[in-house]
Structure 1
Amino acid sequence: MISQLYGETTNMTALTELVIPMVWAYVDDVTTWFDDIFWARLSYFREIWVSSSYKGSSGELALLSYVGHYYRNQESWLRAMHHANKQHFINFKGVAITGWSRYDHFLSLCELMPSAIPSLAYALYTARYGQITSVSNNTIGRQILGCSQIPIWEKTQYPTYITCTFPGHELYEVMFQYEGLAKQYDEVMSFTKLYVNDLHLRYNFIHYKRAQECQNKLAYLDEQMERFIDTFQQVCTLYFTPDVAIEWLQTYFMRSMNEVRNRLQFIERALKTQTYWQPRPIPNITKLVHVKKYSKANNNLERINQ
């Protein structure tokens, strides 16, 4: 919008007297987003604000605010501001370090606030003092946040267990429990679907011995998931109204748990009812699969008529 006004001197002069721009960018390296032409245009304004983030901008359904992405965002803003001030004499009034509860206004909750306190601590430190060193990293992580180890900077493929004492540490720790449980879920379901796949569910037959193995794995996983739900909701009551825990569970958890329950119930039922192995458990299906062609126009008409 501002670029469209540069041909109209009168409008631009009036705008610089009335408006204080806020320049926001939440990517890892903001210096690649704004070139010298951009900063030259903003140099007409008396002062400028910029906006970084400490949570809610790393992914549509991100669960944890890992320090790495947000630290790089803060640090690159310092470099961008230094360049713009030196080359174009931009007067930066301040930095708004934002935290978003939803990646988009129409999306589900992500990166719940209490679990983002470590990211916020690193963001504030970076905005005040600049680059994080090994010494300051240890100071923030162990002394300020009271964590048993340095907070995780990047997501790893291995389960992480960490304890801290900062306000909100309970939810921070529970999020790592969830990531460990999610990995366990992936492993169990990958094994289960080898021997209890959709074909077994559809035609109600099963490999008896393998089904027992799957049953044991699923039953243990189900217990862990039940325990997590109780723990998560208890922790959320410390900081949120009940709707937050409900929305989060419905978005990230219940679909997986329902799948575990469905497979487990099928196995239990099949083990009781399948007393012998039929000569051909899978029906001799000869009818080809036909899928009705999707019509966008018809779909729109259906919605209008509802």
Structure 2
Amino acid sequence: MEENKMMVSSPFGLRLVHLDLKGAPPKVSYLAEIFPLFRTLGANGLLIEYEDMFPYEGELKPLRAEHAYSASEIKEILNLAKLHKLEVIPLVQTFGHMEVYYLGEGEESKQWLQKEENSTEKLCLSHMKAVASCMVSSHPVVKPIVWDDMLRGVSEETLAESGVAQLMEPMIWDYAPDLDEDDKVLLVEKYRKCGFPKLWFASAFKGATGANQSLTLIGHHLKNHLQWLKVANSTPADMLQGIALTGWQRYDHFSVLCELLPVGIPSLAVCLQALQNGGYSEKVKENVEKQLGLSSLEIDTFMSESSGTFPGSDVFTLVTQVCFYLKPSVDELLERNRYVTGWFSPYHRKRKIVHPIMMHHFQPDALSLLDKWNAVMQELQAALKRVFYMCTLEEWMEENVHPSLHKLQEVVDDLDKAIQAQS
């Protein structure tokens, strides 16, 4: 009864947590731990972007990642979602991210565009209509949802005439903390006039502040959600289907990993709770702290000193440690320790020269720092292994840990060689 009462206060019927599986896909065992938390925090659906983790067969089999989920694992994911009352919406890239911005540059398109009544807008809409029609005819109960990038700029007249409004529902996305509320309200009104009976919003709880971002700045994402709440309150209730809280894992298949899912959980918790309670307050802060086992929640810093008890909280704590302290501590030793810069410079290291007295001023520091970071690395590897596949572990460590650790290991090795050369 309490849960139902709580759910009513949100203007969003469906609150979907987006799982972007094209980078750092979690093991099913981790999803089993995290789905109940999603539900507790206020989510009631999942937007699963399967990408190369889907067990494609036949001519699509080459799309599968080496560690793609098996058919039985997909069933398990869907069963877990059902168990925790999370509606699943699959996100399959068709026309959205496959070269739409170059529309009209192919030879066939150029010929089609030579006719006076044709335009790239109409070309785009005709393709969207064809894809949606195919989907609706083969799955009559399914309603396609489309990212609204390519619809925003189309004139009302062209959009209304295209007939796409009867076939699909647009998802208006904006991940900025200062998104223009009035602009969005006008866009909603435009879609209503064009005949779209329903639409969606998309926010971001992580993965939208930098391609190589490692830690999630909660305040940034909270502001984004508070703006969406304002837009929702000015949107006809019968139009708004829900909101997808996106959590991008890579900007595209060729970019590096951004914040790992466990690192973004505190941000997700704050954003979901803000949506559910109609804003952010001391009560929301206390709820999140209790649900995640956090001693204190900081929304305007990266919470460097706080850990938690939520699934993957060890990853969150160790990644925070690495990001805050690993590179600075190594730089401090190699670039600002006067004994290293003065008596064991690159010149000395190359020629295996070391002052036998001076080395005692920095050798213990270098060894203890190396021991400390090797221990943290072992802990982090074990924590990552529980959540992710080996390829994610390797990629994250290579990008974020190895550069500093290698520099530290090299100075220790060079010192050993210099000592041996003098003995």
Question: Normalization by structure 2: what TM-score?
Answer: 0.57
Tell me the CA shift for residue 272 of structure 1: 4.0
Tell me the CA shift for residue 25 of structure 1: 1.5
Q: What does 1:97-176 correspond to in 2, within 5 Å?
A: 97-141=245-289, 143-147=290-294, 149-155=295-301, 160-176=304-320
Does 2:186 correspond to 1:186?
no
Does 2:208 correspond to 1:57?
yes
Residue identity opposite 1:145 in structure 2: L
2:35 match:
none
Residue identity opposite 2:306 in structure 1: I
Which of the numbers 391, 396, 402 marks the counterpart of 1:248? 396
Tell me the CA shift for residue 269 of structure 1: 2.2
* Pair 92,259 (structure 1): closer, same or farther in 2 beyond 3 Å: same
* Pair 152,61 (structure 1): closer, same or farther in 2 beyond 3 Å: farther
* CA deviation string 1:220-275 (max 9, x = no partner): 11111211121011111221122211111011111111111112222332244358
Separation (CA, whole Å) in 2 of partners of 1:163 and 1:23: 34
Separation (CA, whole Å) in 1 of partners of 2:217 and 2:158: 45
2:407 match:
259
Separation (CA, whole Å) in 1 of partners of 2:299 and 2:264: 12
* CA deviation string 1:22-52 (max 9, x = no partner): 1112121222794665444333222221111
Does 2:231 correspond to 1:80?
yes
The answer (yes or no) to whether the contact 1:215–1:268 under 8 Å persists in 2 is: no
SS at match of 2:163: helix
The answer (yes or no) to whether the contact 1:56–1:102 under 8 Å persists in 2 is: yes
The answer (yes or no) to whether the contact 1:232–1:245 under 8 Å persists in 2 is: no
Residue identity opposite 1:117 in structure 2: I
More relative contact order, 1 or 2 (CA 8 Å, 6+ apart): 2
Residue identity opposite 1:81 in structure 2: A
1:67 match:
218
Separation (CA, whole Å) in 2 of partners of 1:226 and 1:202: 25
Tell me the CA shift for residue 60 of structure 1: 1.7
SS at match of 2:259: coil
For the aligned residue pairs, the C-alpha RMSD in angstroms reads 2.8
* Pair 271,125 (structure 1): closer, same or farther in 2 beyond 3 Å: same
SS at match of 1:238: helix
Tell me the CA shift for residue 210 of structure 1: 4.5
Identity of aligned residues (%): 24
SS at match of 2:362: helix
* Pair 22,176 (structure 1): closer, same or farther in 2 beyond 3 Å: same
Tell me the CA shift for residue 80 of structure 1: 2.9
Tell me the CA shift for residue 97 of structure 1: 0.8
Separation (CA, whole Å) in 2 of partners of 1:185 and 1:33: 48
Residue identity opposite 1:168 in structure 2: G
The answer (yes or no) to whether the contact 1:160–1:180 under 8 Å persists in 2 is: no
The answer (yes or no) to whether the contact 1:191–1:214 under 8 Å persists in 2 is: no
The answer (yes or no) to whether the contact 1:101–1:112 under 8 Å persists in 2 is: yes
SS at match of 2:213: coil
Structure 1: gaps (5+ residues): 276-306
Separation (CA, whole Å) in 1 of partners of 2:330 and 2:396: 18
Residue identity opposite 1:25 in structure 2: D
The answer (yes or no) to whether the contact 1:114–1:168 under 8 Å persists in 2 is: yes
Residue identity opposite 1:26 in structure 2: Y
* Pair 205,34 (structure 1): closer, same or farther in 2 beyond 3 Å: farther
Structure 2: gaps (5+ residues): 1-149
The answer (yes or no) to whether the contact 1:5–1:11 under 8 Å persists in 2 is: no
Tell me the CA shift for residue 65 of structure 1: 2.1
Q: How many residues align?
A: 268
Which of the numbers 375, 378, 381 marks the counterpart of 1:233? 381
Separation (CA, whole Å) in 2 of partners of 1:119 and 1:219: 37
SS at match of 1:30: coil
Which of the numbers 241, 244, 264 marks the counterpart of 1:96? 244
Residue identity opposite 1:2 in structure 2: L
Tell me the CA shift for residue 207 of structure 1: 5.5
